[in-house]
Chain A
């Protein structure tokens, strides 16, 4: 047991350095979003500093982590590995071959928590974009509206909803569920084709600092189904059939005429 744990720690520490993940272990692509207002923090994974001076409203670039379970701890910036935990989450499962965003955020009651979300990186039809909305704010259930229409109903912390839509820019806002009371926004969200645009509602309704954070995952595009670059030319086709009919009639008529003249002469 102990050796196993040491191995896990060692691989976590070493893998980012030298991509030394064991051959059998798949990597996960992990990003971290800071959605707890007001606190600049350090993040530890299995006792090792993963991030320092991490500011609210910021998102890390994705890093590859070997699959496994991680003990995560968030402390006030500079508090050190043994400092008091602002958030602590042990045995956080990080499955291989997944794309994950770990979000430090407030739960509905305002307590800081860590939530790992698995991001949908499946292929998207040509011309479309995926939008994912995540409720990570100290706020009650909300509806998310796109261009004034409710797109996602009754979303609660810490849940998500998603859809594939036509690519383009939408005006998004967040209202208290079942009402027209705007809690966040509106904001223009550019849904780029072939991407998954993830919008987080974060902050605290009580503290009046609700905000939107955005993460964009690219590379899920598909090619169109074909290039139908010819529609034929009806006018020439019609002329052609007229020519065929005309030639047939003429030839047949000539033969008949020839035969009859022979008959008449006889």
Chain B
């Protein structure tokens, strides 16, 4: 009845052995081999086409942090000694001074990139790395380091580039920052403006952490996220993107 049957695997397979007797077996093998080869090729092409692009591919790679890296901060210089003078050292009551520190940052705004993210204080995770907020929507501020407006050291803000179930976070846009762009960090009752001086992609193994988290040296803002290639097994990117910005008076 059906004069023209749509090709379906079943009749074809039946037809095959009945074909040319000599080439039947090897022909089928060749067919399977070809199919496999093409399948592999297609798989690879898809693999390649969908490979995770470096979200920060335009960011210059570097193995060092830009200046102003603090001059070797970590030698244990316990509380700076008063410069030796002819006068006596001054004495004060041996009580804990009330720490009159500046307010903690609460918001990061980068108008040109439409970034306006809440900032939350974070510390150190159990593994010794910087702790980060639970969502890429928030920025973490390293609460043990300097605050915006402090006269010395690096204020460090960091946000997740991405996260399963969330996708890519707003911080990913910092790859588009250019020298001179303005960042504003708001704290309770005040805000600090910064101008971008540098954007770098740095291999994590090469990152100068004491400089990134410097507590001495000229005041600077470091905005950090991840970049490079994601290792799904280690669940880590191999690079950090570090934006360096200096306060604008």
Closest chain-A Cβ to B120's Cβ sits at a distance in Å of 14
Contacts of A91 in B (CB 8 A): none
Contact across chains for B94 and A200 when beta carbons are under 8 A apart:
yes
Closest chain-A Cβ to B27's Cβ sits at a distance in Å of 7
Contact across chains for A122 and B76 when beta carbons are under 8 A apart:
yes
* Partner among A19, A58, A264 whose Cβ is within 8 Å of the Cβ of B91: A58
Known: A216-B96, A229-B158, A233-B164. A224 touches B91 (CB 8 A): no
- The yes or no answer to B2 lying at the interface (CB within 8 A) is no
Residue-wise, chain B 1-45 has the 8 Å CB interface mask toward A (1 for contact) of 000000101011101100110000001001110111011111101
Provide the bound-state CA to CA distance between A113 and B190, in Å: 51
Contacts of A193 in B (CB 8 A): 123, 144
Contacts of A135 in B (CB 8 A): none
Which residues of B, 129-150, contact A by the 8 Å Cβ criterion?
A: 129-130, 132, 142, 144
Residue-wise, chain B 63-80 has the 8 Å CB interface mask toward A (1 for contact) of 000000000001011111
Contact across chains for B46 and A225 when beta carbons are under 8 A apart:
no
Question: On chain B, which size bracket covers the interface?
Answer: 35 or more
Contacts of B92 in A (CB 8 A): 58-59, 61
Contacts of A240 in B (CB 8 A): 50
Contact across chains for B86 and A230 when beta carbons are under 8 A apart:
no
Closest chain-B Cβ to A123's Cβ sits at a distance in Å of 6
- The yes or no answer to A4 lying at the interface (CB within 8 A) is no
Closest chain-B Cβ to A207's Cβ sits at a distance in Å of 19
Chain A residues touching B, majority SS: mixed
Nearest A residue (CB) for B47: A244
Closest chain-B Cβ to A98's Cβ sits at a distance in Å of 10
Contact across chains for B209 and A226 when beta carbons are under 8 A apart:
yes
Nearest A residue (CB) for B48: A244
- The yes or no answer to A205 lying at the interface (CB within 8 A) is no
- The yes or no answer to A236 lying at the interface (CB within 8 A) is yes
- The yes or no answer to B213 lying at the interface (CB within 8 A) is yes
Contact across chains for B163 and A64 when beta carbons are under 8 A apart:
no
Binds B, one of A69-77, A154-162, A247-255: A247-255
Contact across chains for B164 and A244 when beta carbons are under 8 A apart:
no
Residues of A within 8 A of B (CB): 15-17, 19, 29, 31-34, 49-52, 54-55, 57-64, 99, 119, 121-123, 125-127, 167, 189-190, 192-194, 196-197, 200, 213-237, 240, 243-245, 247-257, 259-261, 263-264, 266
6 contacts between A and B (CB under 8 A): A123-B76, A244-B50, A251-B43, A263-B12, A263-B27, A266-B20
